[in-house]
Structure 1
């Protein structure tokens, strides 16, 4: 067997072992379902990696300068992408992505024929062992290619190695979040031009159709932050009132969907602004928090972030927002209110939650935005006599809070303050080795 294909055959053996004796997936118990899912995930990534390798070589044999000798043309196709898309049943875009990844991770030769390492060797290594998928690799290659025009080679190589390691086990959505933060970190000067480009595309259109008013809007992060905070606060208040309802099944009970609540929120806000006599809508936790490093704010460098958004904002935008009403500027490393209350208070304070958002980014386990999380004691207040201190607090949504307490998960905090790292330790029946899983914003921050 070709050594190059050993990981693929190993993955097939793992699928066979998980499926042994079963007719179909309905005959697999939970443990074997998870084993089959993991093995199939590795198998899929390995097959995609091999397909990208083959696709890059097909593209090489189909290059324009070959003319009629082009492999694609000989097979009756316009180009390599059309050949690959047709024969694999994918789109031209998918085929182009396979070629792009294959070319960026294949070994190269110089002008005299000597063999050179791949353009991105760390990504190639992760692809070859099935730890990284082609879609994630394509995203990372696109980022690294953009940064090569602005950042020196040494930093690109360092970023590639760290991104390749940190992307293992991430969903594509999480990879995109990681990329957004890394790009802003490596190229802070590029944040404002990109922000200006998005701002130039802002729009709000309204038209009537089928007896309804249709409203479509596109906003930059700076302009959209108060909109999201106000509407989110209205929705949270509505859900809070629903939980406290005496009879949730009563005919007049509130059964509106989230989309309906958001529509009602916009309507009520506009009516209130026009001088409507109705009371001001309740807003639960409707606050815009913009965060920035003190050194960056002072020197006018770097970038800031807005709670609930993955997109960075420029220092100029931070200063504008900090001067606006209803926005809390959270400047790190500056003197502020006391963050540790020991056993004097049971409930965490607002400044403590603002600090924990900097560490956890929202729900430390699933990543939901800060507005729908609460601060929970890691060492319980009553059972463990846990203090109401920053290092004993963690932001969790209600679902993850119950998941941790009901299913035997443990939480570990390494370090102190907002730079600490949060780890979730699964119970033995989930992972016999109880390997810690990184949580909080550290998942999306490069750690050298």
Structure 2
């Protein structure tokens, strides 16, 4: 057996053992289902890793300078990506991704033919070990390639290491959030031009068809922040009312979907604006929070972030938003209110919630925005005599709060202040080693 294929054979052996023990999938225990899913995930990553190497080889043998001797042309295809897409049944986009990742992680040679390391060795190592999916690798490589135009090589190398370390434990959607923040970290001067481009693309079109009004909208982050906050706050209020309903199964009970609620939110807010009588619609305390480092604010450099938005915004946009009504500027590392109350108060204050939102970014477990969360005591107020302090608080949505308490998860806060981190510790039946899982905004922050 080739050592190159050993990890793949081990993953196949795990699956073979599971099916040998259980027979049919429907007879799998919950533990076996989880183990099978893990093994299949490992197999997929390892197969893609092998495919990446083969794609790099096909691309190398199909380079344009070979002319009629190109492997792809000899096989009847325009190029390497078309050959791979057609013969493996993937899309042209997937094949192109395999080629790009393969070329970025394959060993290179200098002009004298001496062997050189891969362009991105940390990514290559993570892919080969099955710890990083090639789609996530492609996103990281695309970012690092862009950053080469504006950042020095040491910064690129550090970003590669940090991104690989974080991305291996994230879903693809979360990797995209990480990439958005990493781009601002790598190229802070590029945030303002990207803001301007996004603002220039903003649009809202309306047309009537089949008895309904259709809206198509695209907003930049700055313009979208109050829209998102108002609609999300309205929907949160509606969900709260639904939860408090006496009989949720009554004929007139509220069974609207989230999409319906969002449409009704927009209609209600606009109707309120047209006939404003100084009574604001219920928005569950919706506000727009813009965060910025004090040094960046003073120097006019760097970037800031907006609750609920993945991509950072420029300092100019931060200043404009901070001057608007309904927007709370949160300047970090400056003097503020007392944030720890011990046993003097049971409920977390608004200032404490803002500090928790700065650390957690919303639900610390699933990432829902802050207005859809509540501040919870980790050590319970009454049962455990837990204090109302930041080190004992965490933002959780209703679903994650119940999931944690009902299924034996634990929460740990490490550090203090801006350096604190939230960790979720699974119960033994989920992970016998009880390996902590990072939560909150730290998942998407590029820091050593």
- TM class by shorter-chain length? over 0.9
- Residue equivalent to 1:314: 314
| TM-score, normalised by the number of residues in structure 1 | 0.97
Q: How does 1:12-411 map to 2 (within 5 A)?
A: 12-275=12-275, 280-411=280-411
CA contact (8 A) 1:272 1:278 kept: no
Q: For each residue in 1:351-397, what CA deviation from the matched residue of structure 2 results, as whole angstroms up to 9, or x when unmatched?
A: 10111111111111111111111100011100110010111100111
Q: Which moved more, 1:19-28 or 1:48-57?
A: 19-28
Instruction: Summarize deviations over 1:93-143 as a string: whole Å, max 9, x none.
Output: 110000000000001111111100000000000111111111011011001
2:437 is aligned with 1:418: no
- Counterpart Cα distance in 1 of 2:171 and 2:249: 38
For residue 277 of structure 1, report the CA deviation from its aligned partner. Answer: 6.7
What is the rounded CA distance, in whole Å, between the counterparts of 1:279 and 1:330 in structure 2? 27
Work out whether residues 185 and 446 of structure 2, in 8 Å CA contact, stay in contact via their aligned partners in 1: no
Mapped to 2, the partners of 1:16 and 1:248 lie a distance apart of 47
Q: In angstroms, what is the RMSD of aligned CA positions?
A: 1.4
**What TM-score do you get using the length of structure 2 for normalisation?**
0.97
Residues 223-282 of structure 1: per-residue CA shift (max 9 Å, x gap): 000001111111111111222222323333322222112112212222222226796421
Tell me the equivalent position of 1:428: 428
Moved more, 360-369 or 245-254: 245-254
Return the offset for 1:30: 1.2
Provide the rounded CA distance (Å) in 1 between the counterparts of 2:279 and 2:355.
Answer: 33
Q: Secondary structure of the residue that 2:225 maps to in structure 1?
A: helix
Distance in 2 of aligned mates of 1:446 and 1:424 = 20
Query: In 2, distance between residues paired with 1:423 and 1:273?
Result: 43
Q: How far apart in 2 are the matches of 1:278 and 1:165?
A: 51
The 3-state SS of whatever aligns with 1:122 is helix
Query: Residue 446 of structure 2 aligns to a residue in which SS?
Result: coil
Return the offset for 1:34: 1.2
Residue pair 1:19, 1:32 contacting (<8 A) in 2 also: no
In the alignment, the residues of structure 1 paired with residue 21 and residue 387 of structure 2 have an alpha-carbon distance, to the nearest angstrom, of 52
Call closer, same or farther: CA 1:189–1:70 in 2, change over 3 Å.
Answer: same
Gaps of 5+ in 1: none
Matched length: 448
* Contact 1:19-1:36 at 8 Å conserved across structures: no
In structure 1, the residue corresponding to 2:22 is in which secondary structure? coil
- Alpha-carbon offset, residue 170 of structure 1: 1.2
Mapped partners of 1:42, 1:160: distance in 2: 22
Q: 1 CA distance for matches of 2:197 and 2:339?
A: 38
* Deviating more after overlay: 15-24 vs 386-395: 15-24
Cα separation, 2, equivalents of 1:403 and 1:344:
29
- Provide the C-alpha distance between the structure 2 equivalents of 1:35 and 1:237, rounded to a whole number of angstroms: 40
SS in 1 for 2:76: coil
Contact 1:296 1:303 (8 Å CA) reproduced:
yes
| 8 A Cα contact 2:423 2:438, kept in partner | yes
Q: How much does 1:286 deviate?
A: 1.2
More deviation in 253-262 or 89-98?
253-262
Quote how far apart the aligned CAs of 1:433 are.
1.2
Deviations 1:317-348 (A, max 9, x none): 00000000010111111112211111111110
Does the 8 Å CA contact 1:184/1:312 hold for their aligned counterparts? yes
Residue 8 of structure 1 is matched in structure 2 by 8
Q: 2:445 maps to what in 1? A: 445
SS at match of 1:21: helix
Distance 2:10 2:362 in 1: 39
Greater shift after overlay, 177-186 or 251-260? Answer: 251-260
Report the CA distance between 1:20 and its aligned residue: 2.3
Distance 1:427 1:254 in 2: 36
C-alpha displacement of 1:427: 0.9
